[in-house]
Amino acid sequence: MDGPVLLTGAAGRVAEAILDHLGDSYRWRLLDRDPPEKDYSHEYVLADVTDAEAVRDAVAGASAVVHLAGDPRPDASWDSVLANNIDGTETVLDAAAEEGVGKIVLASSNHAVGGYETDDRVPTIYRSHDAYRLDGTELPRPGNFYGVSKATGELLARYYYDTYGLPAVCLRIGNLTKERPPRDYERGQAMWLSYRDCAHLFDRSLQADYGYEIVYGISDNDRKYYSIDRAREVLGYDPQDNSAEYDAED
C-alpha cells in the first residue's frame, strides 16, 4: 500500500490485538479520542469520528481504513449509538469514498445477529456443529441498540459500495479475549476469537480483493455456530486457534 492505513478506535481492545501482531506490517495512522496507552511509534490523531472535518483530514492520503471506533457497550443507549456508531460510521465512510480509499474494513459484531439466540435455541446452538449455523447471508437480527448500530453500519457499507464503489468487508467479531477463551461460558467459547486470529483476519481483510462482504470473525472453534467458510473463501482466513483446545486445562 502506498499510503497509510487509518485505524479508528485505536485505543480499544480490537486495535490492541491488531497492533500487537501487525504493528510493523503496515504504516498505520491511528485515530482515537483518547490518548494511547501504548507507544506503537505510529502517527496518532486525537479526534472523534463524529467530527467530520477531523475525519476528512485523517482519511486524506490513506490507502485503506480499518474502522473500529464507536461505543462498544451492549447496553449503550440509543443516543450514544446513534452519534458514535451510526453517524460516526457514516462520517468515516463518506470521507473514505470522497478520498477514493482502496477499501474499508468495518468492525461489525455478533450483536448484529444476537436476536437469533432465542430461548428454544440456547444453549443447543453453542454445542452442536450442525444444528444451527449463521453464515452472513441471513438478515440482521439485533438484540440491543448496539446490535442495531452494527447492523446499520453494514447497510451503510453496502450503500457506499453500491453507490460509490467503495469496497468493504464487515467483520462480525465474536468474543475477543487475549489469553484464552472464557471458562464456564459456552456462548463465549463458541464465538471465541483469539488475538492471533483477530490480527490475521484483519491482515487478510487488508490484503484480499472483494467488493462487499459480511463474514464472521471467530477462531476455528469446535462448538462454533457461526460459519467461517466465507471468510476462508473470500479473504483467505486461516485461523489457528480453537477454544476446545483449552478444555483439557480446565
Domain that holds residue 82: 5-249
User: Using CB atoms within 10 A of its CB, is residue 118 exposed (0-12), middle (13-18) or buried (19+)?
Assistant: exposed
CA-CA distance, 143 to 138, in Å (whole number)? 15
Which H or E run includes 172? strand 168-173
Catalytic residue among 26, 146, 195, 225: 146
**pLDDT value of residue 109:** 98
Beta strands per DSSP E along 85-138:
103-109
CATH code, 201: 3.40.50.720
Dump pLDDT digits (tens) for 126-158.
555 555 578 999 999 999 999 999 999 999 999
Domain count, the chain: 1
**pLDDT value of residue 121:** 63
CA-CA distance, 213 to 151, in Å (whole number)? 13
Q: Which of 6, 17, 20, 21 is nearest to 66 (CA)?
A: 6
**pLDDT value of residue 137:** 93
pTM of the model: 0.94
**Which residue in this structure is represented by grid cell 480490537?**
14
User: Distance between the two ends of the chain, CA-based, in angstroms?
Assistant: 44
In DSSP notation, 13-82 reads HHHHHHHHHHTTTS-EEEEESS--SS---SEEEE--TT-HHHHHHHHTT-SEEEE--S---TT--HHHII
**Ramachandran category for residue 103: left, alpha or beta (phi over 0 → left; psi -120 to 50 → alpha):** beta
**pLDDT value of residue 38:** 80
Q: Which of 159, 161, 184, 186 is nearest to 174 (CA)?
A: 186
Which H or E run includes 5? strand 5-8
Q: Is 146 marked active-site? A: yes
Residue 111 near residue 149 (C-beta atoms within 8 A): no
Which residues of the chain have a pLDDT value below 70?
A: 119-132, 247-250
**pLDDT value of residue 41:** 86
